[in-house]
Amino acid sequence: MVWPSSEQLVCVTGAGGFIGSSLVKELLQRGYAVSGTARNPEDRKNAHLHSLDGANERLSLYRADVLDYKSLCAAFSSCDGVFHVASPVSDNDPELMAVAIEGTKNVINAAADMGVQRVVFTSSYGAVHMNPNRSPDQVVDESCWSDLEFCLQTKNLYCYAKTVAEKTAMQEASKRGIQLLVVVPSLTLGEMLQPTLNLGIELLIASYMKGTKKAYPNTVSAYVDVQDVARAHILVYETLTAHGRYLCIGEVVHRSEFIQMMRELFPQYPITTKYMHCFFEVQTYPFAITRV
Protein backbone atom coordinates (compact mmCIF):
# COMPACT_ATOMS: atom_id res chain seq x y z
CA MET A 1 0.00 0.00 0.00
CA VAL A 2 1.29 3.47 -0.94
CA TRP A 3 0.23 6.78 0.58
CA PRO A 4 -1.03 9.44 -1.89
CA SER A 5 1.54 12.23 -2.05
CA SER A 6 -0.99 14.93 -2.96
CA GLU A 7 -2.52 14.68 0.51
CA GLN A 8 0.77 14.76 2.42
CA LEU A 9 2.66 17.47 4.31
CA VAL A 10 6.14 16.33 5.26
CA CYS A 11 9.15 17.97 6.87
CA VAL A 12 12.79 17.62 5.79
CA THR A 13 15.44 18.57 8.35
CA GLY A 14 18.60 20.03 6.84
CA ALA A 15 16.63 20.93 3.69
CA GLY A 16 19.40 23.07 2.19
CA GLY A 17 22.11 20.41 2.34
CA PHE A 18 23.34 18.06 -0.38
CA ILE A 19 20.95 15.16 0.24
CA GLY A 20 18.26 17.38 1.74
CA SER A 21 18.03 19.57 -1.36
CA SER A 22 17.61 16.62 -3.70
CA LEU A 23 15.00 15.14 -1.39
CA VAL A 24 13.02 18.40 -1.29
CA LYS A 25 13.18 18.59 -5.10
CA GLU A 26 11.93 15.02 -5.49
CA LEU A 27 9.13 15.49 -2.96
CA LEU A 28 7.90 18.65 -4.68
CA GLN A 29 7.96 16.92 -8.06
CA ARG A 30 5.73 14.19 -6.62
CA GLY A 31 3.17 16.67 -5.34
CA TYR A 32 4.05 16.79 -1.64
CA ALA A 33 3.77 19.93 0.45
CA VAL A 34 7.13 20.35 2.19
CA SER A 35 8.29 22.07 5.35
CA GLY A 36 12.07 22.37 5.39
CA THR A 37 14.27 23.27 8.33
CA ALA A 38 17.39 25.44 8.19
CA ARG A 39 19.35 27.30 10.84
CA ASN A 40 18.89 30.47 8.82
CA PRO A 41 16.23 30.22 6.09
CA GLU A 42 17.16 33.68 4.77
CA ASP A 43 20.78 32.70 4.14
CA ARG A 44 21.75 32.87 0.45
CA LYS A 45 22.92 29.26 0.62
CA ASN A 46 19.25 28.21 0.88
CA ALA A 47 18.03 30.39 -2.00
CA HIS A 48 18.21 27.49 -4.47
CA LEU A 49 15.30 25.81 -2.68
CA HIS A 50 12.92 28.62 -3.65
CA SER A 51 13.71 28.12 -7.34
CA LEU A 52 12.62 24.47 -7.36
CA ASP A 53 9.49 23.57 -9.32
CA GLY A 54 6.51 23.76 -7.00
CA ALA A 55 8.39 25.64 -4.28
CA ASN A 56 6.27 28.79 -4.51
CA GLU A 57 3.09 26.85 -3.84
CA ARG A 58 4.21 23.99 -1.59
CA LEU A 59 7.50 24.77 0.20
CA SER A 60 7.90 26.55 3.54
CA LEU A 61 11.23 26.98 5.33
CA TYR A 62 11.42 27.09 9.12
CA ARG A 63 14.21 28.38 11.32
CA ALA A 64 15.06 25.31 13.36
CA ASP A 65 17.98 23.49 14.96
CA VAL A 66 17.93 19.84 16.00
CA LEU A 67 19.32 20.89 19.38
CA ASP A 68 16.32 23.20 19.87
CA TYR A 69 13.29 21.04 20.64
CA LYS A 70 10.73 23.85 20.45
CA SER A 71 11.90 24.92 16.99
CA LEU A 72 11.44 21.35 15.76
CA CYS A 73 7.92 21.21 17.15
CA ALA A 74 7.02 24.34 15.18
CA ALA A 75 8.46 22.86 11.97
CA PHE A 76 6.72 19.49 12.46
CA SER A 77 3.30 20.94 13.29
CA SER A 78 0.54 19.43 11.09
CA CYS A 79 3.05 17.19 9.28
CA ASP A 80 2.20 13.62 8.28
CA GLY A 81 5.83 12.52 8.12
CA VAL A 82 9.37 13.65 8.87
CA PHE A 83 12.59 13.01 6.95
CA HIS A 84 15.50 13.53 9.34
CA VAL A 85 18.45 14.28 7.06
CA ALA A 86 20.33 17.01 8.98
CA SER A 87 23.71 15.86 10.30
CA PRO A 88 27.27 17.16 10.69
CA VAL A 89 29.65 15.47 8.24
CA SER A 90 33.04 16.24 9.77
CA ASP A 91 34.94 14.61 12.63
CA ASN A 92 36.01 18.14 13.56
CA ASP A 93 32.49 19.48 14.08
CA PRO A 94 32.18 20.29 17.81
CA GLU A 95 28.46 19.49 17.72
CA LEU A 96 28.94 16.03 16.20
CA MET A 97 28.08 13.96 19.28
CA ALA A 98 25.44 16.35 20.59
CA VAL A 99 23.58 16.20 17.29
CA ALA A 100 23.98 12.42 17.15
CA ILE A 101 22.43 11.85 20.56
CA GLU A 102 20.43 14.85 21.81
CA GLY A 103 19.53 16.06 18.33
CA THR A 104 18.19 12.65 17.36
CA LYS A 105 16.18 12.39 20.58
CA ASN A 106 14.72 15.84 19.95
CA VAL A 107 13.65 14.96 16.41
CA ILE A 108 11.92 11.71 17.39
CA ASN A 109 10.21 13.19 20.44
CA ALA A 110 9.14 16.38 18.66
CA ALA A 111 7.70 14.26 15.86
CA ALA A 112 5.79 12.11 18.36
CA ASP A 113 4.50 15.12 20.29
CA MET A 114 3.26 16.72 17.06
CA GLY A 115 1.34 13.59 16.10
CA VAL A 116 3.74 12.39 13.38
CA GLN A 117 3.65 8.62 13.03
CA ARG A 118 6.26 7.93 10.35
CA VAL A 119 9.90 9.12 10.37
CA VAL A 120 12.60 8.36 7.80
CA PHE A 121 16.11 8.64 9.24
CA THR A 122 19.19 9.20 7.08
CA SER A 123 21.99 7.03 8.44
CA SER A 124 25.31 6.22 6.76
CA TYR A 125 27.31 3.36 5.32
CA GLY A 126 29.76 4.36 8.07
CA ALA A 127 27.32 2.89 10.60
CA VAL A 128 27.55 -0.49 8.89
CA HIS A 129 30.99 -1.44 7.60
CA MET A 130 33.51 -0.34 10.25
CA ASN A 131 34.10 -3.73 11.88
CA PRO A 132 37.54 -5.42 11.76
CA ASN A 133 36.09 -8.68 13.10
CA ARG A 134 33.90 -9.24 10.06
CA SER A 135 35.15 -11.85 7.61
CA PRO A 136 35.97 -10.54 4.12
CA ASP A 137 33.74 -13.31 2.77
CA GLN A 138 30.72 -12.22 4.80
CA VAL A 139 27.94 -10.47 2.92
CA VAL A 140 27.32 -7.00 4.35
CA ASP A 141 23.60 -6.44 4.79
CA GLU A 142 21.17 -4.54 7.00
CA SER A 143 22.04 -6.68 10.02
CA CYS A 144 25.62 -5.36 10.10
CA TRP A 145 26.80 -2.61 12.43
CA SER A 146 30.06 -0.71 12.81
CA ASP A 147 32.04 -1.57 15.94
CA LEU A 148 31.99 1.46 18.23
CA GLU A 149 35.27 0.62 19.96
CA PHE A 150 37.00 0.25 16.60
CA CYS A 151 35.60 3.62 15.45
CA LEU A 152 37.08 5.23 18.57
CA GLN A 153 40.41 3.44 18.22
CA THR A 154 40.77 4.63 14.63
CA LYS A 155 39.53 8.12 15.59
CA ASN A 156 36.67 7.89 13.12
CA LEU A 157 34.21 9.98 15.11
CA TYR A 158 31.86 10.46 12.17
CA CYS A 159 31.20 6.71 11.86
CA TYR A 160 30.93 6.48 15.64
CA ALA A 161 28.41 9.32 15.75
CA LYS A 162 26.28 7.97 12.89
CA THR A 163 26.17 4.53 14.51
CA VAL A 164 25.15 6.01 17.87
CA ALA A 165 22.61 8.31 16.19
CA GLU A 166 20.91 5.48 14.35
CA LYS A 167 20.69 3.31 17.45
CA THR A 168 19.39 6.29 19.42
CA ALA A 169 16.70 6.87 16.79
CA MET A 170 15.61 3.23 17.03
CA GLN A 171 15.44 3.33 20.82
CA GLU A 172 13.49 6.60 20.97
CA ALA A 173 11.11 5.58 18.18
CA SER A 174 10.36 2.32 20.00
CA LYS A 175 9.58 4.23 23.20
CA ARG A 176 7.27 6.71 21.47
CA GLY A 177 5.51 4.38 19.05
CA ILE A 178 7.03 6.02 15.95
CA GLN A 179 7.26 3.99 12.72
CA LEU A 180 10.96 4.45 11.89
CA LEU A 181 12.47 3.73 8.48
CA VAL A 182 16.23 4.01 8.03
CA VAL A 183 18.02 4.70 4.73
CA VAL A 184 21.73 3.82 4.83
CA PRO A 185 23.48 5.47 1.85
CA SER A 186 27.10 4.86 0.91
CA LEU A 187 29.41 7.65 -0.32
CA THR A 188 26.95 9.97 -2.04
CA LEU A 189 27.83 11.81 -5.25
CA GLY A 190 25.91 13.49 -8.04
CA GLU A 191 24.28 16.77 -9.03
CA MET A 192 24.65 19.54 -6.48
CA LEU A 193 21.69 21.87 -6.09
CA GLN A 194 23.20 23.98 -3.31
CA PRO A 195 25.64 26.77 -4.29
CA THR A 196 28.60 25.65 -2.16
CA LEU A 197 30.61 22.44 -2.10
CA ASN A 198 29.69 20.01 0.64
CA LEU A 199 32.53 18.22 2.43
CA GLY A 200 31.95 14.89 0.68
CA ILE A 201 32.21 16.37 -2.83
CA GLU A 202 35.23 18.43 -1.77
CA LEU A 203 37.09 15.38 -0.44
CA LEU A 204 36.04 12.80 -3.02
CA ILE A 205 36.06 14.86 -6.22
CA ALA A 206 37.30 18.43 -6.00
CA SER A 207 40.52 17.64 -4.13
CA TYR A 208 41.49 15.10 -6.80
CA MET A 209 40.49 17.36 -9.69
CA LYS A 210 42.58 20.22 -8.29
CA GLY A 211 45.51 17.91 -7.63
CA THR A 212 45.64 18.92 -3.97
CA LYS A 213 45.57 15.26 -3.00
CA LYS A 214 48.97 14.03 -4.08
CA ALA A 215 48.08 10.33 -3.98
CA TYR A 216 45.04 8.10 -3.82
CA PRO A 217 44.75 5.27 -1.29
CA ASN A 218 44.46 1.53 -1.71
CA THR A 219 40.80 1.36 -0.80
CA VAL A 220 37.51 0.07 -2.12
CA SER A 221 34.40 2.16 -1.54
CA ALA A 222 30.69 1.98 -2.25
CA TYR A 223 29.07 4.91 -4.09
CA VAL A 224 25.53 6.04 -4.84
CA ASP A 225 23.90 8.90 -6.76
CA VAL A 226 22.21 11.54 -4.62
CA GLN A 227 19.02 11.36 -6.70
CA ASP A 228 18.77 7.63 -5.96
CA VAL A 229 19.23 8.40 -2.26
CA ALA A 230 16.37 10.91 -2.40
CA ARG A 231 14.13 8.42 -4.19
CA ALA A 232 15.02 5.71 -1.67
CA HIS A 233 13.81 7.95 1.16
CA ILE A 234 10.47 8.48 -0.54
CA LEU A 235 10.11 4.83 -1.52
CA VAL A 236 10.43 3.57 2.06
CA TYR A 237 8.14 6.34 3.30
CA GLU A 238 5.40 5.56 0.79
CA THR A 239 5.61 1.77 1.16
CA LEU A 240 3.60 1.07 4.28
CA THR A 241 4.98 -2.46 4.59
CA ALA A 242 8.56 -1.17 4.74
CA HIS A 243 10.37 -1.50 8.06
CA GLY A 244 13.87 -1.28 9.52
CA ARG A 245 17.07 -0.45 7.63
CA TYR A 246 17.72 -0.24 3.89
CA LEU A 247 21.18 -0.09 2.36
CA CYS A 248 21.32 2.35 -0.56
CA ILE A 249 24.33 1.48 -2.75
CA GLY A 250 24.94 1.92 -6.47
CA GLU A 251 28.44 0.65 -7.26
CA VAL A 252 31.47 -0.67 -5.37
CA VAL A 253 34.79 0.22 -7.01
CA HIS A 254 38.45 0.57 -6.13
CA ARG A 255 39.69 4.14 -5.78
CA SER A 256 41.98 3.61 -8.80
CA GLU A 257 38.91 2.90 -10.98
CA PHE A 258 37.22 5.99 -9.58
CA ILE A 259 40.26 8.12 -10.41
CA GLN A 260 40.44 6.67 -13.94
CA MET A 261 36.79 7.61 -14.58
CA MET A 262 37.54 11.15 -13.46
CA ARG A 263 40.55 11.37 -15.79
CA GLU A 264 38.40 10.28 -18.73
CA LEU A 265 35.60 12.70 -17.87
CA PHE A 266 37.82 15.69 -17.05
CA PRO A 267 41.10 15.41 -19.03
CA GLN A 268 41.66 19.17 -18.70
CA TYR A 269 42.21 18.93 -14.92
CA PRO A 270 45.46 17.97 -13.10
CA ILE A 271 43.84 14.90 -11.55
CA THR A 272 45.92 12.92 -9.07
CA THR A 273 47.81 10.01 -10.66
CA LYS A 274 50.05 8.74 -7.86
CA TYR A 275 49.15 5.61 -5.92
CA MET A 276 49.56 5.68 -2.14
CA HIS A 277 51.46 2.56 -1.05
CA CYS A 278 50.12 1.08 2.17
CA PHE A 279 51.47 -1.46 4.60
CA PHE A 280 48.17 -3.33 4.50
CA GLU A 281 45.59 -4.39 1.98
CA VAL A 282 42.10 -2.99 2.37
CA GLN A 283 39.44 -5.67 2.81
CA THR A 284 36.43 -5.58 0.56
CA TYR A 285 33.01 -6.95 1.32
CA PRO A 286 30.15 -8.09 -0.89
CA PHE A 287 26.86 -6.29 -0.28
CA ALA A 288 23.33 -7.58 -0.11
CA ILE A 289 20.83 -4.98 -1.30
CA THR A 290 17.35 -5.28 0.19
CA ARG A 291 14.52 -4.00 -1.98
CA VAL A 292 11.28 -2.57 -0.63
103-126 per-position pLDDT tens digit: 999 999 999 999 999 999 999 999
Q: What's the number of CA atoms in the CB half-sphere (13 Å) around residue 157?
A: 14
pLDDT for the residue 202: 82
pLDDT for the residue 93: 75
Query: pLDDT tens, 14-43?
Result: 999 999 999 999 999 999 999 999 999 888
> One of 25, 105, 162, 213 is an active-site residue; which one?
162
Domains of the chain: 9-189+222-250 (3.40.50.720)
pLDDT for the residue 89: 75
Distance CA 175, CA 178 (A): 8
Residue 191: C-alpha distances to residues 127, 225, 226 (Å):
24, 8, 7
| pTM to 2 decimal places | 0.90
Beta bridge partners of 185: 248
81 three-class SS? strand
Residues of the chain with pLDDT under 50: 1, 279-292
pLDDT for the residue 137: 85
Active site residue 162: yes
160 three-class SS? helix
> What kind and span of H or E run contains 265?
helix 255-265
pLDDT for the residue 221: 87
pLDDT for the residue 277: 58
